[in-house]
Chains A and B, each alone.
Chain A
Amino acid sequence: MKVKTNLWLAVIATFMISACSTSVERLDSQQEVDLSGAWNDTDSQLVAREMIEDSLSRAWINKFVKAEGKEPAVIVGRIKNLSHEHINTNTFIANMERELINSGEVQFVASSSARNEIREERGDQDLNASEETRKDMGQEYGADFMMQGQINTIIDVDGTTQVRFYQVNLELISIKDNRKVWIGEKRIKKLVKNSKLRE
């Protein structure tokens, strides 16, 4: 009888210990996981993909190709975070850059910080690289358009329930003459219910 009781105690203790221990599970990076209701990687990927698809399906691109006889060169500029959350806009910009490059429909120009690093390297090559392998200054590909935008939120709260509304606005501006050739908007609405009880 005593052995049986001890066995049960051991089983319960094992359960309790395993419940407290850290567990790690590998997830597919495309899988949607929402924990807090805040802006996450799924939102970032989804908005970047849909907005770039929309921008590349509009008339401005054909007009440019027809007029200039080449694919437009695009650069992603500043995406302002005007939301209620500390959103890392760099991951969103990286997602958009990937979608733009992979579309194959536009040329893509590196960001200003990346360009500075490359210029430094060219300067270094100027001094140290052999003449056959040296890359000359002044050969950069200038962008035709810059994509800029902002992320806004509206949050409605009642007790432990929240409606979180995200609106991402992007616009593509011609660097030559400041014309806006495309404006895109994507909205996400989330209902978040927090538990009134915890462990």
Chain B
Amino acid sequence: MYKFLFLFLFTIISGCAGQQQENNDLANLLYIQNPQDVLEKLQTTEPVERDYAQFHLNIGLLQLMTGDFQSAIDTFSLAKREMAVLAASSVSENIGAGTVNETLRSYSGYPTDRVMVHNMLALSYLFNNDIEGARVEMLQADISMKKLAKRKDLNGQLASSHLLAGIIYELLDEQSNALISYKHAADIIEQRGLALPIGLKQALLRMSFKLGAQNQYVAYKKQFPNLPVPTNNNKNQLFALYFDGVVSNKKQNSIMVPDHDNEQLIRISIPAYPQMKHRIGRAKIAQQKTQLTTELVENLEVLVREDLDKEYPSILLLTTTRAIAKYELVKQADKQDSLLGALVNIATVLTEVADLRSWNMLPSNIQFAYIETAENEVVINSSNTLSQKITINNGSKNVVLINSLSNEVFHYQQ
């Protein structure tokens, strides 16, 4: 009987930990294999139902990176619905998290995931030539950010989301909405202590000029004196977004100590992120005589750490509660039979694993550049990728998505 109980618990826990390890390995594999190979490997895994949202977020992202936009839309929409349903608390899952470990709770996504899913959906719709669908996602991202907004707190507020909204509104000639979105993006970037990308400064100048918002235009001209004055020309516009690297995986920090009378072992496991060590790479966009580099808009390494920091009070509370519950359980079992006590103690130690789940295939950071040109060709270079020539039509508006992990550059033109 005891053997079966032990085997049963061991199987469950080793399964959970093994699956997350496999997922982390696949995310790391993105640095050496192309997204298509990683996608195929991920699709052969069978996640437990409570990890479906995480699974679908990663699958959707890989589908986007491989250019399968319709599948990416379907998969991300599924993940979005799953996260919406899981936003409500489950009593049974909370009991499981409070007594066994936190992986028994369904993955409902961190604030960054809940906003970023709209960004990825918007890009999928855009490159699938459905700009109205992309616009819908940007409105939903705005609602998600408003839901998450707290005074003087940037958690769940994404500059990249506002920037993308601004680009989509500008493509749709909704200048007022575009200016508002660019302003939100600039506010967040400044509050995070980053330098404003030149492309965003140009966007603020351009939109305030086109909208005829004279006071704002004069203020921006004063703020950015070195930028050229916008004109009503018919030059080709190119908005370039660059996904650099892969965000860090969480790791487990554990300690195991004997209790005060050395009768049982107590183990505590907490998730943590390793120190940030990703070196930010840049994409280069060259015309005949000039060359631009993309600039940082969103450092997702910082955002995912903020998300986890926000969770720490509840993680610590639950870990402490669980340690007390497990201690009492072992004590009661030991009173009945010392062998049973020992087996239950082993089970409580083995089941104490940290929740390492996250949307771990997101880019490490997102960058942006803007070009206004009379030329019909630009050459794009990024780390680990080959040069790509992009042909642009006269008077056209273009969006390109460059990825450091793949040679493909996606291009939307109107």
Query: Contacts of B147 on A, CB cut-off 8 Å?
Result: 157, 159
List CB contacts (< 8 Å) of B277-313 with chain A: none
Judge if B139 is at the interface, Cβ distance under 8 Å.
Answer: yes
Query: Contacts of B255 on A, CB cut-off 8 Å?
Result: none
CB of B133 within 8 A of CB of A86, answer yes
CB of B136 within 8 A of CB of A86, answer yes
* Least CB separation from A87: chain B residue: B136
* Least CB separation from A86: chain B residue: B136
Query: Contacts of A85 on B, CB cut-off 8 Å?
Result: 136
Judge if A90 is at the interface, Cβ distance under 8 Å.
Answer: no
CB of A157 within 8 A of CB of B88, answer no
CB<8 Å pairs between A and B, sample of 12: A81-B132, A84-B143, A85-B136, A153-B139, A157-B143, A157-B147, A194-B87, A197-B88, A197-B89, A197-B91, A198-B88, A198-B89
Query: Contacts of B256 on A, CB cut-off 8 Å?
Result: none
State the Cβ distance, B128 to closest chain A Cβ, in Å.
13
Query: Contacts of A84 on B, CB cut-off 8 Å?
Result: 136, 139-140, 143
Distance in angstroms between the alpha carbons of A87 and B336 in the assembled complex: 62
List CB contacts (< 8 Å) of A42-62 with chain B: none
Give a binary string over A171-199; 1 marks a CB under 8 Å from any B CB, 0 the rest.
00000000000000000000000111111
Distance in angstroms between the alpha carbons of A145 and B135 in the assembled complex: 29
Query: Contacts of B140 on A, CB cut-off 8 Å?
Result: 84
CB of A196 within 8 A of CB of B88, answer yes
Most chain-A Cβ atoms within 10 A of its Cβ — which of B88, B90, B92, B133? B88
CB of B139 within 8 A of CB of A194, answer no
Interface of B toward A, CB cutoff 8 Å: 85-92, 132-133, 135-136, 139-140, 143, 146-147
CB of A81 within 8 A of CB of B136, answer yes
Interface of A toward B, CB cutoff 8 Å: 80-86, 153, 155, 157, 159-160, 194-199
CB of A198 within 8 A of CB of B136, answer no
* Least CB separation from B90: chain A residue: A198
State the Cβ distance, A85 to closest chain B Cβ, in Å.
6
Query: Contacts of A155 on B, CB cut-off 8 Å?
Result: 143
Query: Contacts of A195 on B, CB cut-off 8 Å?
Result: 88
Contact pick for A199, options B90, B139, B143, CB 8 Å: B90
Query: Taking A84-B143, A155-B143, A157-B146 as contacts, is the C-beta distance between A198 and B85 under 8 angstroms?
Result: yes
* Least CB separation from B91: chain A residue: A197
State the main secondary structure of chain A at its contact with B.
loop
Query: Contacts of A157 on B, CB cut-off 8 Å?
Result: 143, 146-147
Distance in angstroms between the alpha carbons of A196 and B89 in the assembled complex: 6
* Least CB separation from A155: chain B residue: B143
Distance in angstroms between the alpha carbons of A163 and B136 in the assembled complex: 17
Query: Contacts of B88 on A, CB cut-off 8 Å?
Result: 160, 194-198
Distance in angstroms between the alpha carbons of A82 and B174 in the assembled complex: 11
State the Cβ distance, B137 to closest chain A Cβ, in Å.
9
Query: Contacts of A81 on B, CB cut-off 8 Å?
Result: 132, 136
State the Cβ distance, B405 to closest chain A Cβ, in Å.
29
CB of B92 within 8 A of CB of A199, answer yes
Query: Contacts of A197 on B, CB cut-off 8 Å?
Result: 88-91
* Least CB separation from A36: chain B residue: B84
Query: Contacts of B132 on A, CB cut-off 8 Å?
Result: 80-81
Distance in angstroms between the alpha carbons of A198 and B136 in the assembled complex: 27
State the Cβ distance, A70 to closest chain B Cβ, in Å.
36
State the Cβ distance, B305 to closest chain A Cβ, in Å.
26
Query: Contacts of B85 on A, CB cut-off 8 Å?
Result: 198
State the Cβ distance, A51 to closest chain B Cβ, in Å.
21
* Least CB separation from B84: chain A residue: A194
* Least CB separation from B146: chain A residue: A157
The 8 closest A-B pairs by CB, nearest first: A198-B88, A84-B139, A198-B90, A157-B147, A195-B88, A86-B136, A155-B143, A196-B88
Distance in angstroms between the alpha carbons of A153 and B142 in the assembled complex: 13
Distance in angstroms between the alpha carbons of A198 and B108 in the assembled complex: 13
New A-B pairs, 12, CB < 8 Å, besides A86-B133, A198-B89:
A81-B132, A83-B139, A84-B136, A84-B139, A84-B140, A84-B143, A85-B136, A86-B136, A155-B143, A194-B87, A197-B89, A198-B85
State the Cβ distance, B173 to closest chain A Cβ, in Å.
13
